[in-house]
Structure 1
Amino acid sequence: MGIHIALHHKTSYKYDRLIHLAPHIVRLRPAPHCRTPILSYSMQVIPAEHFINWQQDPFSNYLGRLVFPEKTREFHVEVDLVADMIIINPFDYFLEPHAEKFPFTYESRLRHELRPYLSKRRLGKTFNQYVAEIKSMPGRTIDFLVELNMK
């Protein structure tokens, strides 16, 4: 059993007149694949007169689509949850043989699937220096990750 923590989040808007709220998408619910056990979760929405449809995005994250049939002067979303902060082994994964040494190259099929995460864009001088320093740390991938996290 780990440490129990409570999280409270509140977003509030007040308007000077009655307005019609367009549908809102909220992403304030832990994903079903979250490794941290969630002991309790609640979400309160004002205006109370609303519809919510829970959906999942392509990565299985929850999103709530809120629809408000009536005009309102305020909008509030309040979330409370309690999580059990258990100890999780950060090295609980398997490396494919081609990825045991860093840097490595993804197989073409996997590289295609990961394309959104591998795209590069121009960044600032400080970040580029940081990346150059990282690239100069070849070796075992696990050692690389440990060293990177110690920076």
Structure 2
Amino acid sequence: MNTLVTLRHHTSYRYDRPVFLGPQTIRLRPPVNARSPVLTYALNVGPGEGQIAWRLDAHENTVAEAIFAEQVSHFDIEVRMTVDITPYDPFQKGGQPLSQTPNNPAYRVITSDPDLLDGFLDGQFLSAGETDLARLIWLNRRLAQSLHYKTRMEPGTWAPAETLSRLTGSCRDSAWLMIAFARRLGFAARFVSGYLIQPKPLDTGSQTLTCDLHAWAEIWVPESGWFGFDTTSGLVTAQNHIPLAVSATPEEAAPVSGLLDHCQARFDVLMEAQHLHRETNT
């Protein structure tokens, strides 16, 4: 049985006066080789006179660049897609295949004080499992248990030291902390932004879905590939995690980035997902 889901994500910016927008980079398209296949995809931006150009960035993400020649009073982005979230075993066929090799040296740059990270680990990592993957799963679960999840609407990502000292943070904060630990331990690691689609809480029938922008860490496990680690749930990522962008730092994976004139802006977002239908494999 294939589990097909339709997703709609609408982002709206309203400005208090007409402004000039610089090129706006939109990172809201899953990779073509994602484990959860994307069957249909459409991106629309407004106002309608804007132009869109697609390209691959330095991390092999498929990104759109929206360009507006005239002043605008609003900026709208709408994504519609159909994705197959049929369950799969993330431990088979290696890890998440966003990119096949960890050759980018930026994925190994240490991002925090090694002594601080070592103090949290307290020498337990090497004895936490028989394989690298088992030990990373242990670390991911420990972070999920140690950190209190906090929704943060303000922009930016906390430094790993701040998240560790507060023992709280958003998904992007804890993912960035996991990456700091992985790099300290000698692994290539990168930041992932994407969608998390899951059944609505208290819906025992699992027919009502929620969809949110989410962030997690991805770590290269030698001879196995990339594996995603969700520090919010403590789980290895699977079919409910739809990756949109990978990068060496959180800033490079932001869903939307670009310059604009100084102004007051109002931001609104709508995300919804629903089951399309269920198909039987033939």
Tell me if TM exceeds 0.5: yes
Q: Indicate which of 101, 108, 119 corresponds to 1:118.
A: 108
Instruction: Give the conservation status (yes or no) of the 8 Å contact 2:126–2:135.
Output: no
Whole-angstrom CA distance in 2 between matches of 1:25 and 1:120:
27
Aligned-residue offset at 1:144: 3.4
Aligned-residue offset at 1:17: 1.9
Q: Which amino acid aligns with 2:86?
A: I
Aligned-residue offset at 1:71: 1.4
SS in 2 for 1:135: coil
Q: Report sequence identity in percent.
A: 29
SS in 1 for 2:124: helix
TM-score computed with the length of structure 1 as normaliser: 0.72
Whole-angstrom CA distance in 1 between matches of 2:23 and 2:68:
7
SS in 2 for 1:21: coil
Whole-angstrom CA distance in 2 between matches of 1:57 and 1:8:
24
- Residues 51, 149 of structure 1: CA spacing in aligned structure 2 closer, same or farther, 3 A cutoff? same
- What does residue 55 of structure 2 align with? 55
SS in 2 for 1:139: coil
Aligned-residue offset at 1:29: 0.9
Whole-angstrom CA distance in 2 between matches of 1:78 and 1:139:
46
- Residues 46, 131 of structure 1: CA spacing in aligned structure 2 closer, same or farther, 3 A cutoff? farther
SS in 2 for 1:133: coil
- Residues 143, 18 of structure 1: CA spacing in aligned structure 2 closer, same or farther, 3 A cutoff? closer
Instruction: Give the conservation status (yes or no) of the 8 Å contact 1:32–1:61.
Output: no
Q: Which amino acid aligns with 2:53?
A: N
- What does residue 38 of structure 2 align with? 38
Instruction: Give the conservation status (yes or no) of the 8 Å contact 1:32–1:60.
Output: no
SS in 2 for 1:52: strand
1:93 counterpart = 2:84: no
- Residues 128, 116 of structure 1: CA spacing in aligned structure 2 closer, same or farther, 3 A cutoff? farther
Instruction: Give the conservation status (yes or no) of the 8 Å contact 1:12–1:76.
Output: yes
CA displacement, residues 10-36 of structure 1 (integer Å, 9 cap, x when unaligned): 221112222221111100111122121
Instruction: Give the conservation status (yes or no) of the 8 Å contact 1:11–1:77.
Output: yes
Whole-angstrom CA distance in 1 between matches of 2:24 and 2:7:
22
Aligned-residue offset at 1:127: 8.3
Question: Rg bigger for which structure?
Answer: 1
Aligned-residue offset at 1:89: 2.6
- Residues 19, 83 of structure 1: CA spacing in aligned structure 2 closer, same or farther, 3 A cutoff? same
- Residues 127, 87 of structure 1: CA spacing in aligned structure 2 closer, same or farther, 3 A cutoff? farther
- Residues 73, 79 of structure 1: CA spacing in aligned structure 2 closer, same or farther, 3 A cutoff? same
- Residues 17, 147 of structure 1: CA spacing in aligned structure 2 closer, same or farther, 3 A cutoff? closer
1:139 counterpart = 2:130: yes
TM-score computed with the length of structure 2 as normaliser: 0.41
Whole-angstrom CA distance in 1 between matches of 2:90 and 2:23:
38
The root-mean-square deviation of aligned C-alpha atoms, in Å, is: 2.9
SS in 2 for 1:117: helix
Aligned-residue offset at 1:65: 0.8
Q: Which amino acid aligns with 1:49?
A: E
Whole-angstrom CA distance in 2 between matches of 1:25 and 1:115:
24
Q: Comparing both structures, which one devotes a greater share of its residues to helix?
A: 1
- Residues 134, 44 of structure 1: CA spacing in aligned structure 2 closer, same or farther, 3 A cutoff? same
CA displacement, residues 103-127 of structure 1 (integer Å, 9 cap, x when unaligned): xxxxxxx98x353222223259588
Structure 1: segments with no counterpart, 5+ residues: 95-109
- Residues 142, 75 of structure 1: CA spacing in aligned structure 2 closer, same or farther, 3 A cutoff? closer
Q: Which amino acid aligns with 1:66?
A: A
- Residues 125, 37 of structure 1: CA spacing in aligned structure 2 closer, same or farther, 3 A cutoff? same
